[in-house]
C-alpha cells in the first residue's frame, strides 16, 4: 500500500481519459476554494480578492501607475481601472497627477489602505497559504512552476486573470474582445 495525501490519487496504469477527468476536477476544486476564500474576505474585510491583490500591488510599488498594477496582477488595464475606482471609493487608495508630467496619474495607499494591507489575510486561501509556507522552498517553487506550466499548456498565459480570481458569470469586457469581465461585483472587484 502506498502512503498518500488526502484527496490525491495514486498514479498507475490508467485510462488517459481518467487523467483528463482528474485534472478537470482538480481545477474545479481550486476555483471553488478561491471563490469561497474571496467571499470570506468580502465578509470579514469588505474587500474582494482582486481588490486585495491590486491593493497589495499598489503598496509594493508606490507611487504606482494603473498599467504597472495591471501587469503585476495579470489583469487588463481596463479591469484594473475599475477595481481601482472601487478601492478609491472605499478610501483605500488615492490618485494624484504627477507634477512633472500631467498625463501620469500616480496611485498611493491611504492610511486606511495601508492598515488593510497590514492586517488583511493573504489573498491566497488560508489553508493553502499555511501548507505552502511549511514546505521546503524548492518544493514551493516546484509547485509554482507546475501551475505555471498548466497555464502554458492551456495557452492561457496571455489571458486576463480576472475570471480565475473568482468564479461567476462573465460578459464581454469593455476592451473589444480582448478579455472577459464578470458581471457581478463579487466576481471581479
| pLDDT digits 0-9 by tens, 6-38 | 555 555 556 777 888 998 899 899 888 888 888
Residue 45 covered by a domain: yes
Residues 84-94 have pLDDT tens digits of 999 999 999 99
31: CATH: 1.10.10.10
Residue 10 domain flag = no
Whether 134 maps to a domain, the answer reads no
Counted domains in the chain: 1
- The 8-class DSSP code of residue 15 comes to -
* Residues of the domain holding 70: 18-123+159-188
Report yes or no: 161 and 74 within 8 Å, Cβ to Cβ: yes
* pTM beyond cutoff 0.85: no
In a domain, residue 144? The reply is no
| Residue 34 lies inside a defined structural domain of this protein | yes
Q: Is residue 2 part of a domain?
A: no
Q: Is residue 7 part of a domain?
A: no
Cis peptide before 63 (omega within 30 of 0): yes
In a domain, 114, yes or no: yes
pLDDT in tens, 89-114: 999 999 998 888 888 899 999 999 99
Residues with Cβ within 8 Å of 96's Cβ and at least 6 positions away in sequence, in order, are: 63, 105, 106, 107, 108
Sequence-distant (≥ 6) Cβ neighbours of residue 129 within 8 angstroms: 121, 122
Mean pLDDT, the chain, integer: 79
Which pLDDT band holds residue 146 (cuts at 50, 70, 90)? very high
Amino acid at each position: 500500500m502506498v502512503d498518500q495525501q488526502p484527496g490525491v490519487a495514486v498514479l498507475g496504469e490508467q485510462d488517459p481519459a481518467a487523467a483528463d477527468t482528474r485534472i478537470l476536477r482538480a481545477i474545479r476544486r481550486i476555483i471553488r476554494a478561491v471563490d469561497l476564500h474571496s467571499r470570506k474576505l468580502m465578509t470579514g474585510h469588505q474587500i474582494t480578492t482582486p481588490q486585495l491583490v491590486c491593493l497589495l500591488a499598489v503598496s509594493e510599488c508606490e507611487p504606482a501607475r494603473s498599467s504597472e498594477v495591471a501587469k503585476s496582477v495579470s489583469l487588463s488595464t481596463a479591469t484594473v481601472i475599475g477595481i481601482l475606482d472601487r478601492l478609491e471609493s472605499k478610501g483605500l487608495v488615492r490618485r494624484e497627477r504627477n507634477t512633472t508630467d500631467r498625463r501620469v496619474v500616480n496611485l498611493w495607499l491611504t492610511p486606511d489602505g495601508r492598515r488593510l494591507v497590514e492586517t488583511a489575510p493573504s489573498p491566497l486561501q488560508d489553508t493553502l497559504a499555511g501548507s505552502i509556507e511549511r514546505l521546503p522552498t524548492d518544493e514551493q517553487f516546484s509547485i509554482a512552476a507546475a501551475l505555471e506550466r498548466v497555464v502554458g499548456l492551456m495557452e492561457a498565459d496571455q489571458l486576463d486573470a480576472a475570471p480565475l480570481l473568482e468564479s461567476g458569470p462573465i460578459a464581454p469586457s469593455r476592451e473589444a474582445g480582448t478579455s472577459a469581465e464578470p458581471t457581478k461585483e463579487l466576481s471581479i472587484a
